[in-house]
Amino acid sequence: MLIIFTGNGKGKTTAALGQAVRIMGRGKKALIVQCIKGPWKSGEDFFRETFDIPKETFNIRKMGLGFVGILGDTLPKEKHIEAAKSALATFKEALESNKWDLIVLDEVNVAVSLGLLTVDEVLKVAENIPEEKLVVFTGRGAPQEFIDKADLATEMREIKHPFADGKKAKISIEF
């Protein structure tokens, strides 16, 4: 099953994390592969250690190099492309393995919209999702091709956000 969480509203990665908690509650294993998010720590990075969850049950692999072309990013785009392709390869390996029941490709929609990956590259890897696997793609701007392939697609729509009033991101809310 392929699930898409997209839209301009907050909550896409949060929804994917909720799906991970739900599947772990059923005794299954969840992997999150992050395409854009870089080395900074978010609350979910501390979750496993805080609750003593083995890496073999829940794991997050931060494979991105951070913001692409904004907020002071000085890396060449090629470096971001390499990182995104590595994340896609990790996703492919996880999909083909018997290790994970849920695999989240976090911010893949953004990676595609930024030209780090192509729709065709991603769909080729995800073309034969095994029946027993649950896959989630997150990020703003999901390509129509992803939505067409999805079994379930949800759009988060921003109604109100503190950023609009110039407030900065908050620990435990945005990260």
Coil vs helix vs strand at 175: coil
pTM of the model: 0.92
Instruction: Find the mean pLDDT for residues 52-70.
Output: 91
Flag whether 112 is in a domain.
Answer: yes
**Sheet bearing 2-6, strands edge to edge:** 58-62, 30-34, 102-106, 134-138, 2-6, 152-155
Lowest mean pLDDT among 43-57, 92-106, 131-145: 43-57
Among 7-21, 66-80, 98-112, the range scoring the smallest mean pLDDT is: 66-80
Which pLDDT tens digit goes with each residue over 138-174? 999 999 999 999 999 999 999 887 777 787 777 767 7
Mean pLDDT of 17-29: 97
Which segment of 30-34, 103-107, 168-172 scores lowest on mean pLDDT? 168-172
The residue segments making up the domain with residue 123 are 2-157
Number of helical (H) and strand (E) elements in the chain, helices listed first: 6, 6
Is there a domain that residue 162 lies in? no
**Within a domain: residue 166?**
no
Q: Let me know if residue 141 belongs to a domain.
A: yes
**Average confidence (pLDDT) over 8-13:** 94
Residue 121 pLDDT greater than 90, yes or no: yes
120 within a domain of the structure (yes/no): yes
Quote the DSSP letter at residue 170: -
The CATH code of the domain that includes 147 is 3.40.50.300
By the 10 Å C-beta count (0-12 exposed, 13-18 middle, 19+ buried), 34 is classed as buried
pLDDT surpasses 90 at 1: yes
For the chain, the domain total comes to: 1
Residue 108 has pLDDT above 90, yes or no: yes
Cα 104–Cα 106–Cα 111 angle in degrees, nearest 5: 135
In a domain, 169, yes or no: no
